Amino acid sequence: MRSKLLALAVLVLGTSALWADMGPPRTVRIKLDFENLADYPGYDFYLEYGLGHGDPAASPHLARVAPEAVVSLEGAGRFSGVSLIAVPHGQAEPPLPKSEHDQEYQEWLKSLPAGTLHAPLKGIENDYKFTYRVAIDGDHLSAVQTASHLSQSDWFLANLCLIVPAIAISAFCALIVLWLISWRRRRERTKEGPVREDMRTQLDS
């Protein structure tokens, strides 16, 4: 019986590890707000980041950032760092990248005029809303995080696909344990029956 319980424990641990590796991809929900983009009308701002299954760098994304607008980065898969790009105003809209090596997207990057600025956004975590303040000093672009706020509803939605299966697996394993305990008790009672009958026969004789 102990060997069966040990095998059950191994099965539960193996199932948990398998679910961690092969379960549904993580849902990314990040919101970014920039306080003062309107102070720099001579630039158009974009966010560049990676999001996708496998290597996120192989799935680049680009999002336009409008002044006084909150940008939502959403999708399923792994997430890489975010960079803010400031392009001199009046340039053509960039194409949506299809892959890391998308030719049209790479041509747009190469054709960016002098004066295009880049700044990585630091301290980003999933399910949060972040506020940044931008500064351009000559040829240097910086974005300083001024506030962060955890969205409880977004956290719940992002983890719901993991919580429900985990509860179901735990309940299933608990039922198996209860069934094994009940089966063992029935088996012991079955074995005790003939022994008691033999004892009664010996006492009667």
Q: Please give the share of the chain, as a percent, with pLDDT higher than 70.
A: 69
**134 and 191 share one domain:** no
Question: Dihedrals φ, ψ of 53, to 5°?
Answer: -75, 145
**15 and 66 share one domain:** no
Tens digit of pLDDT for each residue in 30-87? 999 999 999 999 999 999 888 888 887 777 888 899 998 899 988 888 888 899 999 8
Look up residue 173 and give its two tokens: 């394993």
The DSSP-derived string for 84-120 is: EEEEETTPPPPPPPSSTT-HHHHHHHHTPPTT-EEEE
- How far is it, in rounded angstroms, from Cα 190 to Cα 116? 83
**103 and 179 share one domain:** no
**41 and 115 share one domain:** yes
Return mean pLDDT, the chain.
Answer: 76
**97 and 126 share one domain:** yes
**143 and 164 share one domain:** no
For the entire predicted model, the pTM comes to 0.60
Pairing of strands 117-121, 78-88: antiparallel
Q: Which domain holds residue 164?
A: 2-22+158-204
**55 and 123 share one domain:** yes
Q: Which residue has the higher pLDDT, 31 or 94?
A: 31
Tens digit of pLDDT for each residue in 193-205? 565 555 566 555 5
**98 and 185 share one domain:** no
- How far is it, in rounded angstroms, from Cα 26 to Cα 117? 31
**118 and 103 share one domain:** yes
User: 151, 173, 191: which is the final residue of a domain?
Assistant: 151
**105 and 82 share one domain:** yes
Q: How confident is the model at residue 152 (pLDDT cuts 50, 70, 90)?
A: low
Q: How confident is the model at residue 163 (pLDDT cuts 50, 70, 90)?
A: low
**116 and 166 share one domain:** no
State the total domains in the chain.
2
Q: How much is the pLDDT for 183?
A: 73
**67 and 135 share one domain:** yes
The separation between the first and the last C-alpha atoms of the chain, rounded to the nearest angstrom, is 36
Question: Dihedrals φ, ψ of 85, to 5°?
Answer: -115, 130
For the segment 139-155, the average pLDDT, to the nearest whole number, is: 82
Residue 177 has pLDDT above 50, yes or no: yes
